[in-house]
């Protein structure tokens, strides 16, 4: 789960952003002023900071400078000031985006998503676990050197499970991420494709384990 930090002296603004952040499945932290935000950045690794300009004690610009001296964390500047010079100065300090008040919480969350994705490490084109080799650029899977003939959904299932290795993934999550919908027959859809995927990857099908009451996970013992 991605972590975001909201820095704003207005509690109402923080509450609105927090509610939407939780709705969009972010782990949300709050600070009412710049000094507290700097302390929190020293203690936590955030994926994005939403930072107001007009705050007591330390303004947003000063806070941004000090944060950037500690960690290169993505920052979205939030302000009622909509002057071009304010925006340009923010970008000179290294911010990733600038949102003017009043703002749409949905649009802000969309910008947060883009900033996080832009700054996230790129997934490798080649993923190898034991005898399984996934070439994501070619959209191909090889099992012990032999090309496996998977359907698109089986391929996407395998890639998603391996990308979340050793993490339990619910059937609802798989249905949403792979099929893009939810339905009463969703469990049967997922279970059927998992069964075929296990068959098509041979002995490595044992790595896809059923998590009772949850869904599935690609389980691989970590080297010590």
Residue 66's nearest CA partner among 32, 39, 31, 102 is: 39
pLDDT digits (tens, 9 = 90+) for 142-155: 999 999 999 999 99
**Residue-level pLDDT at 186:** 60
Which strands, in side-by-side order, build the sheet including 126-129?
126-129, 132-135, 140-143, 146-148
Q: Name the token pair of 150.
A: 């998977």
Q: How far apart are CA 35 and CA 186, in angstroms?
A: 48
Q: Name the token pair of 186.
A: 């969703």
**Residue-level pLDDT at 221:** 67
First and final C-alpha spacing in the chain: 25
Residue 52's nearest CA partner among 88, 27, 23, 17 is: 17
Question: What architecture (CATH level 2) is domain 126-218?
Answer: Orthogonal Bundle (1.10)
Q: Where in the chain is the domain with CATH 3.40.50.2300?
A: 3-119
Mean pLDDT of the chain: 90
Q: Where in the chain is the domain with CATH 1.10.10.10?
A: 126-218
Q: 138 CB contacts (<8 Å, ≥6 apart)?
A: none
pLDDT digits (tens, 9 = 90+) for 175-208: 888 877 655 556 788 999 999 999 999 999 999 9
Please say whether the beta carbons of 83 and 53 come within 8 A: no
Question: What architecture (CATH level 2) is domain 3-119?
Answer: 3-Layer(aba) Sandwich (3.40)
pLDDT digits (tens, 9 = 90+) for 28-85: 999 999 999 999 999 999 999 999 999 988 999 999 999 999 999 999 999 887 777 8
């Amino acid at each position: 789960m991605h972590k975001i930090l909201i820095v704003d002296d207005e509690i109402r603004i923080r509450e609105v952003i927090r509610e939407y952040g939780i709705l969009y499945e972010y782990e949300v932290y709050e600070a009412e002023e710049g000094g507290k935000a700097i302390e929190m950045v020293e203690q936590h690794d955030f994926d994005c900071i939403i930072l107001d300009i007009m705050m007591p004690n330390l303004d947003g610009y000063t806070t941004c400078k000090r944060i950037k001296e500690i960690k290169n964390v993505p920052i979205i500047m939030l302000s009622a000031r909509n002057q071009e010079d304010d925006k340009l100065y923010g970008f000179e300090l290294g911010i990733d985006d600038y949102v003017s008040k009043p703002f749409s919480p949905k649009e802000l969350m969309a910008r947060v998503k883009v900033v996080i994705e832009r700054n996230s490490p790129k997934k490798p084109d080649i993923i190898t676990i034991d005898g399984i080799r996934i070439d994501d650029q070619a959209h191909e899977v090889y099992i012990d050197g032999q090309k496996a003939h998977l359907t698109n959904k089986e391929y996407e299932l395998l890639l998603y499970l391996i990308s979340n290795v050793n993490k339990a993934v619910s059937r609802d999550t798989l249905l949403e991420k792979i099929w893009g919908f939810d339905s009463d027959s969703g469990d049967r859809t997922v279970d059927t494709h998992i069964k075929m995927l296990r068959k098509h990857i041979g002995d490595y099908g044992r790595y896809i384990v059923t998590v009772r009451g949850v869904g599935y996970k690609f389980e691989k013992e970590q080297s010590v």
